[in-house]
Amino acid sequence: MRAYRVLLGSRMRSQTAYRRSFAFDILGSVGIGVVEFAEVYIIFTNVDVLGELDFAAAALLFALANVGFSVADMVVGHVDRLPAYLREGTLDAFLLRPLPVLAQLITSDISLRRLGRTGVATAVFAVALPLNDIVWTPATVTLVVVAPVTAAAIFAALFVCAAAIQFWLVEGGEFANAFTYGGAYASEYPASIYSLPMRLLFSFVVPAAFAAYLPLLVLLDLPGPAGLPQWLGWCTPLAAAVIWAVALAGWRAGLRHYTGAGS
């Protein structure tokens, strides 16, 4: 553990070394968060309800999805730049050190500037939570605490999947982005507005709906659209575990392909 702490510590110091540039980075990230939320706000100036959700519920959905995604993006978002690591020989350097390669890749960077977006999402979360009509029981309290964590875990696993794919598709960055950023975007809106195939794709292939929409159904006690019954909201940790298992298997296969195929 100490090794990872030292690795991450050095990354953080190098990013905050230039105060002003770091401040602007944070500001830019806040800007992205605000613009994303503005999108939701504008929609609700035109409609009262979107996919069974009112504005307060949609804001909570946005907040859950965004806290999860921005944290995942901060901690593991750089792994989908795998081709650059391959080109620069950094991955070979990882292979020559006595630590797991994926752990080294994840701790090789941490984008603290993304905290700006996390900040915006947390603020929206704090405002939207009391505005919603939630029956507070030990179960729902647990869900509210666990949901952002599992959301982050799901998006992090998607990033690792995206990285693994790029062992084969060296110029596959755009393809991989469709799942990571595409999944994040999909998770910000109620899955009920998508057509059934899309809804199933973003639930059971790319488990974006598990990150925020399904837990929200439980919190607000909503029935859920066709194909997505409410009880699935309780399966969020399971979905995170499954997508992580897929991500790790994919990563291991990718690394084997790399050591087999060479650079």
Partner 1 sequence: MTEPIISVRDLRREFVVRSPAGRLRRTRTVVAAVDGLSFDLEAGSAVGYIGANGAGKSTTIKMLTGILVPTAGTVRTCGLEPIRRRRELARQIGVVFGQRSQLWWDLPLRESFRTLAAIHRLPTASWPARRDELVERLDLGSFMDTPVRQLSLGQRIRGEIAAALLHSPPLLILDEPTIGLDVLSKERLRVFLAEQRALHGTTLLLTTHDMDDVQRLTERIIVVDHGRCVYDGTLTGLVARVGAERVMAVDLAEPVTSLGEISGTRTVAVESDGLRHRLAFAPERTTAGAILEALGRRAQVRDLAIEEPDIEDVVRRLYLSQTRTPRSPSP
Distance CA 19, CA 242 (A): 40
Task: Tell me the closest approach of the beta carbon of residue 259 to partner 1, in angstroms.
Answer: 5
- Alpha-carbon radius of gyration of the chain: 19
Q: For residue 53, what are the β-bridge partners? A: 50
Report yes or no: 71 and 45 within 8 Å, Cβ to Cβ.
no
When the beta carbons of 138 and 262 are compared against partner 1, the nearer one is 262
Compute the distance between CA of residue 110 and CA of residue 9 in angstroms, rounded to an integer: 10
**Cβ-count burial 235-251 (b if 16+ within 10 Å, e if not):** bbeebbebbbebbeebb
> Least CB distance from residue 86 to partner 1, whole Å?
12
Looking at the Cβ atoms of 101 and 146, the one nearer to partner 1 is: 101
Measured from the CB atom, the residue of 10 and 142 that comes closer to partner 1 is 10
Is 31 or 89 the residue whose CB approaches partner 1 more closely?
89
Min. distance of Cβ 166 from partner 1 in angstroms? Answer: 18
Q: What is the nearest approach in angstroms of partner 1 to the Cβ of residue 78?
A: 14
Tell me the two tokens of residue 3. 């090794």
List the structure tokens of 195: 């057509």
Q: In whole angstroms, how close is the CB of 79 to partner 1 at the nearest point?
A: 17
Tokens matching residue 223: 């029935």
> Contact at 8 Å (CB) between 218 and 140?
yes
For the CB of residue 71, give the shortest distance to partner 1 in the complex, in Å: 24
Tokens of 97: 């050190």
Q: Which is nearer to partner 1, 6 or 178 (CB)?
A: 6
Residues in contact with partner 1 by the rule CB under 8 A: 2-3, 5-7, 10, 14, 88-89, 92-93, 95-100, 259-262
Burial of 185 (0-12, 13-18, 19+ CB in 10 A): middle
Q: Which is nearer to partner 1, 98 or 130 (CB)?
A: 98
- Please state at what angle helix 173-187 crosses helix 138-165, rounded to 10 degrees: 170
By beta-carbon proximity to partner 1, the closer residue of 14 and 21 is 14
Q: At what angle do helices 115-131 and 55-76 cross, to 10 degrees?
A: 150
What's the min distance (Å) between Cβ of 6 and partner 1?
Answer: 4
